[in-house]
């Protein structure tokens, strides 16, 4: 039963007030994409052991989707941030590196 802070309301919401949405920072592949690209977008998920970026909706709250950087092993939450971004903001990256200096970002389309 996680607690995540909704970056829109600033409220600490517990898991029962949230709706999970799977891996974050996927890049949509439209009609022009190849079969391989589409497969990767539609089906291939990281299932990370450790640092993971995921989508959550404050469903029983403001209704907004937000993103969380979380450690799937220790349950540490490095931070939550608004969904309107293609890559985690620098303060989130810094928070992760503080705990895991060796961690390398691996999203494919960082700006």
Partner 1 sequence: MAEALATVARLDGLGMITIRADLSRSGDAIAEAAGLAIPDATRISTDGSRSLGWMSPDELLLILPAQETPDAIAALEQALAAEHALIADVSDARAVFEVIGDHASDVIAKLSPAHLDALPQDGLRRSRAAQTAAAFWRVDGGFRLIGFRSTADYLDLVLQSAACPGSGLAPR
Partner 2 sequence: MTHTPPFRLARGGRLIDRAFQIPFRFDGRYLRGLRGDTLASAMLASGQMLMGRSFKYHRPRGPVASGAEEPNALFGLGQGGRFEPNQRATTTALVPGMILRSQNCWPSLDADIGAVNNWLSPMLPAGFYYKTFIHPRPFWKHLFEPIIRRSAGLGRAPTDPDPDRYEQAYALYDTVVVGGGIAGLTAAREAAEKGGKVLVLEQNPVWGGRTPVDHKAGEATIQALLDDLRGRANVTLRRNTMATGLYDHGYLLAREALADHDPNQGIPRQRLWRIRAGHIVTATGALERPLAFACNDVPGVMLASAVRDFIVDYGVAPGQRIVVVTNNDDAYRTALIAQEARLDVTVLDARDSADGDLPQAARAQNITVLTGSAIAKVTGGRHVESVAVCDQKGEGKHTGTIDCDVVAMSGGWSPIVHLYSHCGGKLLWDEAQAMFRPDPDRPPLGADGRGNVTATGAASGDLRCAGDLERAEGATMPVWCMPANAPYKLRAKMWLDYQNDVKVTDVLLAAREGYASVEHTKRYTTLGMATDQGKVSNINGLAILSDALNQPIPQTGTTTFRPPYTPLTLATIAADARGEAFQPLRKTPLHAWHERHGVSWEPVGQWRRPYCYPRGDEDRHAAVNREILAVRNSVGTLDASTLGKILVKGPDAGKFLDMMYTNMMSSLPVGKCRYGLMCSENGFLMDDGVVARLTEDTWLCHTTTGGADRIHGHMEDWLQCEWWDWQVYTANVTEQYAQIAVAGPKARDLLERLPGSIDLSQQALPFMQWVEGDIAGMPARIYRISFSGELSYEIAVPAGRGLELWERLQEAGRDLGITPYGTEAMHVMRAEKGFIMIGDETDGTIIPQDLGLGWAISKKKSDYIGKRAQSRSHMKDGARWQLVGLESLDDRVIPDGALAVDEGTNPNGQRKTQGRVTSSYHSPTLGRPIAMALVRHGTGRMGQVLEFPLPSGEVLKGRICDPVFYDKEGARLNG
Q: Where does 29-107 show beta strands of DSSP type E?
A: 51-57, 65-71, 77-82
**Of partner 1, partner 2, none, which one does residue 74 interact with (CB within 5 to 8 Å by kind)?**
partner 2
46 binds partner 2 (CB under 8 A): no
Q: How far is CA 107 from CA 26, 96, 99, in A?
A: 8, 14, 19
The residues facing 54 across adjacent strands are: 23, 68
Which listed range, 31-39, 45-53, 102-110, lies at the site for partner 2 (CB under 8 A)? 31-39
CB of 74 to partner 1, least distance (A): 23
| Residue pair 28/51 in contact by the 8 Å Cβ criterion | no
Number of residues that bind partner 2 (CB under 8 A): 28
**Of partner 2, partner 1, none, which one does residue 111 interact with (CB within 5 to 8 Å by kind)?**
none
Which listed range, 44-52, 61-69, 103-111, lies at the site for partner 2 (CB under 8 A)? 61-69
End-to-end CA distance of the chain: 33
Which listed range, 32-40, 44-52, 101-109, lies at the site for partner 2 (CB under 8 A)? 32-40
């Amino acid at each position: 039963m996680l607690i995540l802070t909704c970056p829109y309301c600033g409220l600490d919401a517990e898991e029962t007030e949230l709706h999970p949405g799977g891996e974050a920072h996927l890049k949509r592949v439209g009609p022009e994409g190849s079969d391989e690209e589409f497969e990767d977008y539609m089906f291939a998920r990281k299932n990370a052991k450790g640092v993971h970026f995921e989508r959550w909706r404050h469903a029983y709250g403001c209704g907004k989707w937000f993103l969380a950087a979380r450690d799937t092993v220790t349950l540490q939450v490095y931070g939550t941030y608004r969904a309107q971004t293609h890559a985690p903001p620098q303060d989130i990256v810094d928070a992760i590196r503080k705990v895991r200096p060796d961690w390398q970002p691996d999203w494919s389309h960082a700006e």
